[in-house]
Structure 1
Amino acid sequence: MTGVNSVNTVLVVGGGTAGNALTILLRRAGVGVDLVEVKPDWNVRGSGITLQGNALRVLHELGVWDQVQKLGFGFDTLGLTAPDGTVLHVQQDIRTGGPDLPATVGMQRPDLQRILIDAVRASGADVRLGCTVESLHQNAGGVDVRFSDGTVGRYDLVVAADGLNSATRALIGIPDRPEPTGMGLWRAAVPRPEGLERTDLAYGGPCFIAGYCPTSENTVYAYLAEPKRDRAAIDPATYADEMRRLAEGYGGFWPEIAASITDPAQVNYTWFDRHLVEGSWHRGRVVLVGDAAHACPPTLAQGAAMSLEDASVLAELLTSGGDADDVLAAYHERRAPRVRTVVDASVQLGQWLMNGVRDADVPGLIGRTMTMLTERP
């Protein structure tokens, strides 16, 4: 299969999850792809990532499922605990990727990035690191691009996969920006305590949420959500102390986890954001994917899944034949309602916690949303 006549050369701006996935799929279909990533190290960093079944379905499509399965930690249940660690309920998770894939795989984020990088390299895409787009000029036939290294290029399509604070989104005049929801998140990767084999969540205690996810046979990704603070007022040298202090209010596996949080450089503090571009996700022949178009708090662990689904749907449409304008309109039509449901549900779950709503239908909202996600995007 080859690209449609109107889209045979594509520039992907950003080598994160969405950009890498799209590059792999387009190259497989014979489309010429250049990928530029502003970070010289290709952003091989981070703590942990939770991948639900619908994310795993796309990773299987990319041909990397075997590596993901080998390096990650799969499980099918979710535990709810009291702050002291008492297990209140264990529920079977919905396999949103189908019966042949686990409900969830936890991974170390750098491992997933390296797997995708290897697949991009193997695809034959032209990759430039430490480089990004400086300016764009469009006409009916395509997009002229000037890069930060002084070079130029012309493409049938430019894909903005450059993240939540996308500079490409701003270049094409889309004004939407992420907005904080009011929560802040502490997270760290630590050794996995023996017997920790699924995600457990505690609601209440010193934080809104205390949770962890096994990310390999030897590691776990731990996180604590609290009211957001002024990030400039927190000395990064105290990050480990702050996270340990918050973790003191939790039992179960938490004392062992907290004892391993010693290096402030291995602790990340960030805010929860809501982001959804209203209206079209493209301007001419420049289109947004992943966090550049939408992002949600991790209360449903669907951020990476939504980005991967974007890449899958856009690649399918671009390589199925049709005019570029029609394809980009169809991409938005297919993705926007599903993404909005996930963003709104993720924000609502956090809002209920911040407002202290005790009778909220949390299981119902999660169940309805995850059931919807079992349908292919």
Structure 2
Amino acid sequence: MADSPNRRVLVIGGGTSGNAVTVLLRRAGLRVDLIEARPDWNATTGSGITLQGNALRVLRELGLWERVRASGFPFGTLGITAPDGTVLHVAEDIRTGGDDLPATLGMQRPQLQRILIDAVRASGATVRLGTTAESLEQDADGVRVRLSDGSEGRYDLVVAADGLNSATRAAIGIPDTPEPTGMGIWRIAAPRPEGVDRTDLAYGGPAYIAGYTPTSEDTLYAYLVEGCRDRASVDAADHAEEMRRLAQAYGGAWPEITKHITDPKRVNYTWFTRMLVEGSWHRGRIVLVGDAAHCCPPTLAQGAAMSLEDALVLAELLTSGRDWDDELFQSYYDRRIPRVRAVVEASVQIGQWQLDCVRDADVPGLIGRTMNLLKELP
């Protein structure tokens, strides 16, 4: 098995981790089918994303760094402001990807997805959109899969990259599900006001955090974090009004940003959640990557980075010449879990300190320790 040139892999889910692992496995010559439930492949969904250096390091390994750099907005500092916009402190971001990459890069999330989609298409993988896995039947050597389009196929491995609410995770008997942490976030993409050239975060006011990140020369995404409310209590038609109400309490660049919070369809409201599958991320020949295995609040901006690192480590092991057995899949988990656990726990802790109104919490120390850990290769 270790030397077979004809191994066939099914990747379920065409998000960040699924796309990345597809490109890496195709590069090694494996046959890869990717299925994605959404017909639009999530190419138009989302406002913005913050990519730390360790995420950029994986994107460079994928051969995508030049396109990402051209599409995003790199920067190296973080501003802390008062609610009125007064800058209280400017900190240097830790270069988790090494000195030859920016510490941080903001970009429009749909643009990152389109870059990954192009890479998958160019890799030669077979892609089926609007398609899900209806059944998974395993034996010692592989998995027979029936798809929602009525087709069936046999695979040497199934990679479950189907996100937070992974149906594959549940289907293989892993009971973990995302749990709310007590916070909710409003997000919107908007034009970038002149002078906004880094992330600024304001603590206090009606929201726990009011922040924005430049995503290109012309755009940014802005976000407001509050205690989570019953989603049913806020009609989607009122999303812009609700976000604008919170935003009006903040100064600095916020008055200019607030002018563009007008279309409720462009405002996204979600809860912060946490999950960390413990013990192993596989059952037989089905293995989890990315949000299907772990998720956390974006307080460290490490969600995409952890998903990309999962894809890199799993692909490295699968193409190492070793047998695809429990030992290999357990080694994948063992390599990833200390790093992912540190990120999940720190991300949740930062939010919990805010919920508990802990005034003397060592937030900079916790962030520094965690980000310095991430400078090491995954």
Which TM-score applies when normalising by structure 2?
0.98
Q: CA deviation at 1:323?
A: 1.6
In structure 1, the partner of 2:346 is 345
Contact 1:183 1:271 in 2 (8 A): yes
Cα distance, 1:5 vs. partner?
3.3
Given that 1:181 and 1:274 are in contact with CA atoms closer than 8 Å, whether structure 2 keeps it comes out as yes
CA distance in structure 2 between the aligned counterparts of 1:250 and 1:349, rounded to whole angstroms? 22
CA distance in 1, matches of 2:244, 2:4: 57
| Structure 2: gaps of 5 or more residues | none
Q: Does 1:277 pair with 2:294? A: no
| Residue identity in the other structure for 2:361 | A
Contact 2:141–2:285, Cα closer than 8 Å, also in 1: no
Aligned residue number for residue 267 of structure 2: 267
Residue in structure 2 matched with residue 34 of structure 1 by the alignment: 33
Whether contact under 8 Å (1:3, 1:29) holds in the other structure is: no
How far residue 4 of structure 1 moved from its aligned partner, in angstroms, is 4.8
- Alpha-carbon distance, 1:7 to partner: 7.9
1:83 aligns with 2:108: no
- DSSP 3-state at the match of 2:138: strand
Q: Which amino acid aligns with 1:9?
A: R
Corresponding residue of 1:24: 23
Query: Contact 2:135/2:146 (CA < 8 Å) preserved in 1?
Result: yes
Question: Is 2:377 aligned against 1:370?
Answer: no
Alignment length, in residue pairs?
Answer: 376
Partner residue of 1:123?
123
**8 Å Cα contact 2:52/2:104 also seen in 1:** yes
Between the aligned partners of 1:255 and 1:75, the Cα distance in structure 2 is 23
Which amino acid counterpart does residue 333 of structure 1 have in structure 2? D
Q: Deviations over 1:296-322 (max 9, x none)?
A: 100000000000000000000100111
Aligned-partner residue type, residue 342 of structure 2? T
1:359 alignment partner in structure 2:
360
Aligned match of 1:145:
145
Amino acid at match of 1:345: A
Q: CA deviation digits over 1:121-165, x for unaligned, max 9?
A: 000000000001000000011100000111000000000000000
Q: Distance in 2 between matches of 1:94 and 1:140?
A: 45
The 1:17–1:188 alpha-carbon spacing in structure 2 relative to 1, beyond 3 Å, is same
Cα distance in 1 between the residues matched to 2:318 and 2:255: 50
Matched residues, percent identical? 74
Match of 1:69 in 2: 69
Superposition pairs for residues 1-377 of structure 1, below 5 Å?
4-5=3-4, 8-44=7-43, 45-325=45-325, 326-377=327-378
Code of the residue aligned with 1:108 in structure 2: it is: Q
Kept in 2, the 8 Å contact 1:6–1:324? The answer is no
8 A contact 2:2–2:322 mirrored in 1: no
CA distance in 1, matches of 2:82, 2:147: 52
The C-alpha deviation readout for 1:264-321, integer Å capped at 9, x for no partner, is 0000000000011121100000000000000010000000000000000000010011
Distance 1:233 1:242 in 2: 11
Seen in structure 2, the aligned counterparts of structure 1 residues 338 and 117 have a Cα distance that, compared at 3 Å, is same
Q: Distance in 1 between matches of 2:375 and 2:140?
A: 39
Q: For the Cα contact (< 8 Å) 1:93–1:103, is it kept in 2? A: yes
For structure 1, the residue ranges without an aligned partner over 5 or more in a row are none
The whole-number CA distance in structure 1 between the counterparts of 2:33 and 2:355 is 43
Distance across 1 between alignment mates of 2:4 and 2:280? 23
With normalisation by structure 1, the TM-score equals: 0.98
What is the aligned-residue RMSD (CA, Å)?
1.1
How far apart in 2 are the matches of 1:308 and 1:327? 19
Moved >3 Å (runs of 4+): 2-7
